[in-house]
Amino acid sequence: MEKIKIAVFVSGSGTNLQALIDASKSGIIKHGELSLVISSNPEAYAINRAELAGIPVCVVAKKSCKDQAEFECKLIKELSRHDIGLIVLAGFMSILSADFTSKYPGRIINVHPSLIPSFCGKGYYGLKVHEDALKYGVKVTGATVHFVNEIPDGGQIIAQKAIKIRECDTPETLQHRVMENAEWVILPKAAEKVAKELLRETDKTNTPEKEKS
Ligand code: GAR
Protein backbone atom coordinates (compact mmCIF):
# COMPACT_ATOMS: atom_id res chain seq x y z
CA MET A 1 0.00 0.00 0.00
CA GLU A 2 1.21 3.50 -0.82
CA LYS A 3 2.09 5.57 2.23
CA ILE A 4 2.83 9.21 2.97
CA LYS A 5 6.35 9.71 4.30
CA ILE A 6 6.22 11.35 7.70
CA ALA A 7 8.95 13.44 9.36
CA VAL A 8 8.66 13.98 13.12
CA PHE A 9 10.27 17.14 14.54
CA VAL A 10 11.38 16.82 18.19
CA SER A 11 13.41 18.71 20.79
CA GLY A 12 13.08 16.78 24.06
CA SER A 13 12.12 13.51 25.64
CA GLY A 14 10.09 12.32 22.67
CA THR A 15 7.19 10.61 24.41
CA ASN A 16 4.89 11.78 21.62
CA LEU A 17 7.34 10.38 19.07
CA GLN A 18 7.14 7.10 21.02
CA ALA A 19 3.34 7.19 20.79
CA LEU A 20 3.68 7.58 16.99
CA ILE A 21 6.17 4.68 16.81
CA ASP A 22 3.88 2.46 18.88
CA ALA A 23 0.87 3.45 16.76
CA SER A 24 2.73 2.52 13.58
CA LYS A 25 3.58 -0.88 15.04
CA SER A 26 0.03 -1.52 16.21
CA GLY A 27 -1.52 -0.45 12.89
CA ILE A 28 -3.24 2.72 14.10
CA ILE A 29 -1.08 4.60 11.58
CA LYS A 30 -1.63 2.76 8.29
CA HIS A 31 -1.38 5.45 5.63
CA GLY A 32 1.86 7.03 6.82
CA GLU A 33 5.38 5.79 7.33
CA LEU A 34 7.71 7.29 9.95
CA SER A 35 10.61 8.05 7.60
CA LEU A 36 12.64 10.72 9.36
CA VAL A 37 13.12 12.28 12.80
CA ILE A 38 14.67 15.74 13.01
CA SER A 39 15.85 17.00 16.38
CA SER A 40 16.63 20.65 17.06
CA ASN A 41 18.53 19.53 20.19
CA PRO A 42 21.56 17.22 19.97
CA GLU A 43 20.91 16.02 23.57
CA ALA A 44 17.23 15.08 23.07
CA TYR A 45 16.27 11.64 24.39
CA ALA A 46 13.93 11.45 21.39
CA ILE A 47 17.03 10.68 19.28
CA ASN A 48 17.52 7.38 21.17
CA ARG A 49 13.87 6.49 20.62
CA ALA A 50 14.22 7.07 16.87
CA GLU A 51 17.42 5.04 16.67
CA LEU A 52 15.89 2.17 18.65
CA ALA A 53 12.95 2.12 16.24
CA GLY A 54 15.30 2.16 13.24
CA ILE A 55 14.08 5.52 11.92
CA PRO A 56 16.68 7.75 10.17
CA VAL A 57 17.42 10.66 12.47
CA CYS A 58 19.31 13.91 12.04
CA VAL A 59 20.09 16.87 14.25
CA VAL A 60 19.50 20.37 12.94
CA ALA A 61 20.56 22.57 15.86
CA LYS A 62 19.25 26.10 15.75
CA LYS A 63 22.23 27.30 17.78
CA SER A 64 24.63 26.24 15.06
CA CYS A 65 22.80 28.31 12.41
CA LYS A 66 23.42 32.01 11.88
CA ASP A 67 19.71 32.82 11.62
CA GLN A 68 16.19 31.41 11.19
CA ALA A 69 16.57 31.33 7.38
CA GLU A 70 19.66 29.09 7.57
CA PHE A 71 17.95 26.83 10.15
CA GLU A 72 14.89 26.40 7.93
CA CYS A 73 16.98 25.96 4.80
CA LYS A 74 18.68 22.97 6.49
CA LEU A 75 15.29 21.55 7.52
CA ILE A 76 13.93 21.87 3.96
CA LYS A 77 17.01 20.14 2.53
CA GLU A 78 16.47 17.12 4.82
CA LEU A 79 12.75 17.02 4.07
CA SER A 80 13.22 16.96 0.31
CA ARG A 81 16.10 14.45 0.55
CA HIS A 82 13.67 12.05 2.27
CA ASP A 83 10.68 12.95 0.07
CA ILE A 84 8.57 13.90 3.10
CA GLY A 85 4.84 14.48 2.59
CA LEU A 86 3.73 15.19 6.18
CA ILE A 87 5.52 16.90 9.08
CA VAL A 88 4.49 16.17 12.67
CA LEU A 89 5.71 18.58 15.35
CA ALA A 90 5.93 16.50 18.51
CA GLY A 91 7.42 18.61 21.28
CA PHE A 92 9.35 20.74 18.79
CA MET A 93 10.41 23.88 20.65
CA SER A 94 11.16 26.21 17.73
CA ILE A 95 8.62 28.42 16.01
CA LEU A 96 8.63 28.06 12.23
CA SER A 97 8.40 31.16 10.05
CA ALA A 98 5.62 31.98 7.57
CA ASP A 99 8.19 31.37 4.87
CA PHE A 100 8.56 27.76 6.01
CA THR A 101 4.92 26.98 6.83
CA SER A 102 3.70 28.37 3.49
CA LYS A 103 5.86 25.78 1.69
CA TYR A 104 3.86 22.92 3.28
CA PRO A 105 0.19 24.01 3.37
CA GLY A 106 -1.97 21.39 5.11
CA ARG A 107 1.12 19.23 5.60
CA ILE A 108 2.33 20.29 9.06
CA ILE A 109 0.54 19.30 12.27
CA ASN A 110 1.40 20.03 15.90
CA VAL A 111 0.38 18.70 19.29
CA HIS A 112 -0.19 21.32 22.00
CA PRO A 113 -0.84 20.52 25.68
CA SER A 114 -3.97 22.63 26.21
CA LEU A 115 -7.41 23.15 24.75
CA ILE A 116 -6.65 25.80 22.13
CA PRO A 117 -7.48 28.76 22.16
CA SER A 118 -6.58 28.68 25.88
CA PHE A 119 -2.96 28.76 27.08
CA CYS A 120 -1.38 28.78 23.65
CA GLY A 121 0.68 30.97 21.35
CA LYS A 122 4.18 32.37 21.69
CA GLY A 123 5.83 31.46 25.01
CA TYR A 124 3.36 28.71 25.85
CA TYR A 125 5.16 25.40 25.83
CA GLY A 126 5.99 22.52 28.18
CA LEU A 127 5.25 22.96 31.88
CA LYS A 128 4.34 26.68 31.60
CA VAL A 129 1.05 25.73 29.92
CA HIS A 130 0.01 23.61 32.91
CA GLU A 131 1.29 26.11 35.50
CA ASP A 132 -0.92 28.81 34.00
CA ALA A 133 -3.93 26.51 33.66
CA LEU A 134 -3.69 25.77 37.41
CA LYS A 135 -3.09 29.44 38.32
CA TYR A 136 -6.12 30.48 36.32
CA GLY A 137 -8.23 27.84 38.07
CA VAL A 138 -9.71 26.22 34.98
CA LYS A 139 -11.51 22.97 35.80
CA VAL A 140 -10.88 21.32 32.44
CA THR A 141 -7.81 21.34 30.25
CA GLY A 142 -6.52 18.88 27.62
CA ALA A 143 -4.61 18.62 24.38
CA THR A 144 -5.07 19.79 20.81
CA VAL A 145 -3.70 18.66 17.47
CA HIS A 146 -3.88 21.37 14.82
CA PHE A 147 -2.54 22.32 11.42
CA VAL A 148 0.42 24.67 11.55
CA ASN A 149 0.33 28.02 9.79
CA GLU A 150 2.15 31.32 10.28
CA ILE A 151 0.33 32.05 13.57
CA PRO A 152 1.77 30.13 16.57
CA ASP A 153 -0.87 27.55 17.61
CA GLY A 154 -3.30 29.33 15.26
CA GLY A 155 -4.01 26.76 12.55
CA GLN A 156 -7.22 24.80 12.10
CA ILE A 157 -7.96 22.27 14.85
CA ILE A 158 -7.94 18.57 13.90
CA ALA A 159 -8.55 16.89 17.27
CA GLN A 160 -8.98 17.74 20.95
CA LYS A 161 -9.36 15.75 24.13
CA ALA A 162 -10.39 17.19 27.48
CA ILE A 163 -8.90 16.24 30.86
CA LYS A 164 -10.48 17.15 34.22
CA ILE A 165 -8.29 19.01 36.67
CA ARG A 166 -8.01 17.54 40.19
CA GLU A 167 -7.66 19.65 43.34
CA CYS A 168 -4.40 17.91 44.20
CA ASP A 169 -2.83 18.54 40.76
CA THR A 170 0.62 20.05 40.40
CA PRO A 171 1.91 21.24 37.00
CA GLU A 172 3.86 17.97 36.79
CA THR A 173 0.96 15.61 37.60
CA LEU A 174 -1.29 17.52 35.24
CA GLN A 175 1.31 17.46 32.46
CA HIS A 176 1.67 13.71 32.80
CA ARG A 177 -2.11 13.08 32.77
CA VAL A 178 -2.60 15.33 29.74
CA MET A 179 0.18 13.52 27.87
CA GLU A 180 -0.87 9.99 28.74
CA ASN A 181 -4.61 10.40 28.34
CA ALA A 182 -4.82 13.04 25.63
CA GLU A 183 -1.65 13.77 23.61
CA TRP A 184 -0.48 10.18 23.13
CA VAL A 185 -4.03 9.21 22.12
CA ILE A 186 -5.01 12.00 19.71
CA LEU A 187 -1.67 12.66 18.00
CA PRO A 188 -1.30 9.25 16.28
CA LYS A 189 -4.98 9.23 15.28
CA ALA A 190 -4.69 12.74 13.82
CA ALA A 191 -1.50 11.81 11.94
CA GLU A 192 -3.31 8.83 10.42
CA LYS A 193 -6.34 10.96 9.48
CA VAL A 194 -4.21 13.61 7.74
CA ALA A 195 -1.97 11.03 6.00
CA LYS A 196 -5.05 9.23 4.67
CA GLU A 197 -6.59 12.47 3.44
CA LEU A 198 -3.34 13.56 1.75
CA LEU A 199 -3.10 10.22 -0.06
CA ARG A 200 -6.70 10.57 -1.23
CA GLU A 201 -5.90 14.06 -2.60
CA THR A 202 -2.83 12.72 -4.43
CA ASP A 203 -4.93 9.92 -5.93
CA LYS A 204 -7.51 12.45 -7.15
CA THR A 205 -4.86 14.59 -8.85
CA ASN A 206 -3.25 11.55 -10.45
CA THR A 207 -6.48 10.00 -11.74
CA PRO A 208 -7.19 10.88 -15.42
CA GLU A 209 -10.40 12.89 -15.96
CA LYS A 210 -12.11 9.98 -17.78
CA GLU A 211 -11.69 7.63 -14.82
CA LYS A 212 -12.94 10.28 -12.34
CA SER A 213 -16.39 10.49 -13.92
C1 GAR B 1 4.46 17.78 25.05
O2 GAR B 1 3.65 17.98 26.17
C3 GAR B 1 4.01 18.67 23.90
O4 GAR B 1 2.64 18.80 23.81
C5 GAR B 1 4.64 19.97 24.32
O6 GAR B 1 5.92 19.63 24.80
C7 GAR B 1 5.88 18.30 25.33
C8 GAR B 1 6.93 17.46 24.64
O9 GAR B 1 7.03 16.19 25.20
N10 GAR B 1 4.70 20.87 23.21
C11 GAR B 1 4.50 22.17 23.34
O12 GAR B 1 4.32 22.70 24.41
C13 GAR B 1 4.57 22.95 22.03
N14 GAR B 1 3.88 24.19 22.17
P15 GAR B 1 7.70 14.97 24.42
O16 GAR B 1 9.05 15.45 23.92
O17 GAR B 1 7.86 13.92 25.50
O18 GAR B 1 6.77 14.56 23.33
At 6-65, the pLDDT tens digits run 999 999 999 999 999 999 999 999 999 999 999 999 999 999 999 999 999 999 998 899
Pocket of ligand 1 (CB under 6 A): 10, 12-16, 46, 90-91, 111-113, 125-126, 129, 179, 183
For the domain 4-207, what is the CATH code? 3.40.50.170
Q: Residue 145's closest CA among 57, 3, 1, 23?
A: 23
The alpha carbon of 83 and the centre of ligand 1 are apart by a number of angstroms equal to 25
* pLDDT attached to residue 211: 61
Catalytic residue among 31, 112, 130, 146: 112
Q: Is the pLDDT of residue 209 over 70?
A: no
At 106-129, the pLDDT tens digits run 999 999 999 999 999 999 999 999
* pLDDT attached to residue 1: 84
Mutate to test the pocket of ligand 1, among 49, 108, 131, 179 (most ligand atoms within 8 A of CB): 179
At 77-105, the pLDDT tens digits run 999 999 999 999 999 999 899 999 999 99
Q: Is the pLDDT of residue 212 over 60?
A: no
- CA distances 123 to 10, 93, 102, 119, Å, are 17, 10, 22, 9
**pTM greater than 0.75:** yes
Mutate to test the pocket of ligand 1, among 89, 108, 112 (most ligand atoms within 8 A of CB): 112
* pLDDT attached to residue 210: 60
Residue type, 89: L
Q: What is the domain partition of the chain in residue ranges?
A: 4-207
Q: Residue 104's closest CA among 155, 142, 139?
A: 155
At 150-185, the pLDDT tens digits run 999 999 999 999 999 999 999 999 999 999 999 999
Q: Is 130 one of the catalytic residues?
A: no
Quote the CA–CA distance of 195 and 29 in Å, as a whole number: 9
Mean pLDDT, range 119-145, rounded to an integer: 97
Q: What share of the chain is helix, strand, coil (3-state, %, to 5)?
A: 45, 20, 35
